[in-house]
Amino acid sequence: GDDMVVTDTNGEQPLSAMVSMVTKGCPGEVTCLDEARHGFETGDVVEGMEELNSCGPVEIRVLGPYTFSIGDTSGFGDYVRGGIVTQVKMPKHIHFVSHRVPRQRAATTARGPASPPWRPQGPSRESPVPCVCPQGDAAEVVALTREVAPGAELDEDLLRELAFQASGDLAPVNAFIGGLAAQEVMKAVSGKFTPITQWLYFDALECLPEENKEAVLTEEQCRPRNSRYDGQIAVFGAELQAKLGAQKYFVVGAGAIGCELLKNFAMVGLGCGPDGCITVTDMDTIEKSNLNRQFLFRPWDVTRDLELGAGAPQRQLQRRLNSTFLRVNPGTASQQAPRGELTLSCLGPAPPWVFPAVGLYMDRRCVYYRKPLLESGTLGTKGNVQVVIPFLSESYSSSQDPPEKAIPICTLKNFPNAIEHTLQWARDEFEGLFKQPAENVNQYLTWVSGEGWGASPLAGGCHPVTLGCHPVTLRRHPITWWCHPTTLGCCPSPLNLLPSPLEPPMPSGCYPSPANTLRCPLTPMGALLQPLHLDYIMAAANLFAQSYGIEGSRDRGAVAELLRHVRVPSFAPKAGVRIHVSDQELQSATAALDDERLEELKASLPSPEELPGFRMFPIDFEKVGAARPLPPGSKLIAGKIIPAIATTTGAVVGLACLELYKLVQGHRRLASYKNAFLNLALPFVGFSEPLACPRNK
């Protein structure tokens, strides 16, 4: 229809900021804490503050990075302390004009900055698709355009290119347009994200030969060969098709982007010639959650290695594809492995890596051996493509994202006020319970001589609580262990805060402070059988059992029944507890650890000879979904992790493979290459030229 209601225009989580001051006036001004910019825009609708809650959401006007104005607050009481302001997603009505209406409308543009715009206007005329590279057909297209749009300013060279490429068909362009079109369908049926306005213009003319185009793209070169690549040959000629078949590429990772890369490589014929090769490496296995966005895999592939699972369907797409699959983690540790010299023979690694360290290592190898590199990534509806060309553009590691702001430990443990705090809390909790203790125990058991405690795990500053709070008798009772007050998930920290002498609790439930970031928590005690808490306890108990080599249980009914009979001792606040409100206080307290207590714990430990054959099993970090919402539930924080989606992946890989055409042809003009940035939720697609590499005399 001509009208659509969008419930979420950008797909972002609602912004939230803590308030430090509200003025009385018309309009009233709200000042947020200077720890971070509020991020609002003029016209956003927010809610918050006790007296404003009854008014409903209020439209704001941004005055600065930390201030904005709201409605009339002159009749309100004086601001005292605290408060949170939160963005509200409001429905937005979007109107469209029928495509039958012959008028020029606003459009979304997805093209290079130097490309001329397409301007469809006036009536249309139907004509047969031109043949491959016919000068006569190109002239006819120009004449038809002048007839349809008399008096319009036309770019005849652009129209001739349109005629020359009309019979072409490129898999990367299909992937890009297909990803956008699929996302538009989802927008239409869900009302989520902003749709494309009327038209989308996209071209990639810079993929064509840079010089002597008429001599390279002759009618003989572009004629059909009765092959699956005829659509591609019609655009680039048979000579480039042969070059594509002889390419050797190294793909790091066979996940969502890796699957799409392999599919597009097979469709364009990359590495399909007698001298070509595609080498894939991945250390992960296929999980069930991968199936909704990694379409090379099927349910029967679950638990298989990613790189092996991608091989069979890739060969079904292209039987002539020469591919090799490895299980090697690229890095200095594997550089001397039998296949460690792979980068030497690769004309261009195409790494959709997840871990930055792998990306930096591959970038160093590509710089050392003067190889091109294609980098791409996605985050929900956002994506990017970066192309690195030897001696032309800067390297991947030349420009890095600014380091993430470190989260103070005291904030993480005691006063989280943002979703990233709880995410980091979950990871720290996992490693502190299931990885580091097991590694320390194994290291202690392998320590034989009593000389030089510096070589033992105890010299690294093991906290006495780690050594003394877990009775050995609890090894056989993971559920009981997890319900014990000394280890119970996230309860001890909030419970210790409640009677804290930091400040007397205020009626609002907030601790007043200069920064106003300390908020009184709630406790989930007494609600162990709630579904979320039960998920958390089951995951933690099974992980605890796994670290001791004990068989776990996934019977929720049995675990729930056991919890009903577990007697949880009443929590007793620690005497003389000191709640640290800054990392400086925490460091001072850590430096004053009781050395005598540490020596007592050392003496109480059994010697390694008394535990022959005993080992613990450290567990690498796993995503326990129930571990994250618990602290937000007690601190009034909520949020969700945005998963990867197939539409963004398809569009990003399509753009990456368009850059591949340029690399194979050997384009030497930096302006021919394009780094891409897109956000399908807005929608936005932008291109920029890569930065030139530094030149030293």
Q: How far apart are CA 142 and CA 136, in angstroms?
A: 10
Q: Is the dihedral of CA 362, 367, 403, 679 positive or negative?
A: negative
> Are the beta carbons of 249 and 273 closer than 8 angstroms?
no
Q: Residue 314's closest CA among 258, 352, 358, 366?
A: 258
Which long-range contacts (C-beta less than 8 Å, at least 24 apart) are formed by 667-670?
A: 667/206, 667/210, 668/210, 668/392, 669/210, 670/389, 670/392, 670/393
Q: How far apart are CA 606 and CA 617, in angstroms?
A: 19
Q: Which amino acid is at 195?
A: P
Catalytic residue list contains 277:
no
Q: In sequence order, which residues have a C-beta less than 8 Å from that of residue 629 and are 6 or more positions away?
A: 422, 532, 638
Distances (CA, A) of 697 to 391, 574, 670, 694: 14, 67, 20, 10
Q: How far apart are CA 576 and CA 579, in angstroms?
A: 10
Residue 150 phi/psi, 5° resolution?
A: -65, 140
- Residue 388 tokens, joined: 């690195």
Q: How far apart are CA 175 and CA 244, in angstroms?
A: 18
Q: How far apart are CA 70 and CA 88, in angstroms?
A: 14
Residue 292 phi/psi, 5° resolution?
A: -80, 0
336 CB-contact burial (10 Å; exposed 0-12 / middle 13-18 / buried 19+): exposed
Q: How far apart are CA 279 and CA 209, in angstroms?
A: 28
> Are the beta carbons of 343 and 365 closer than 8 angstroms?
yes
120 CB-contact burial (10 Å; exposed 0-12 / middle 13-18 / buried 19+): middle
Secondary structure, 3-state, 362-401: HHHHHHHHCCCEEEEEEECCEEEEEEECCCCECCHHHCCC
Catalytic residue among 410, 462, 469, 491: 410
Secondary structure, 3-state, 465-512: HHHHCCCHHHHHCHHHHHHCCCCCCCCHHHHHHCCCCCCCCCCCCECC
Catalytic residues: 410
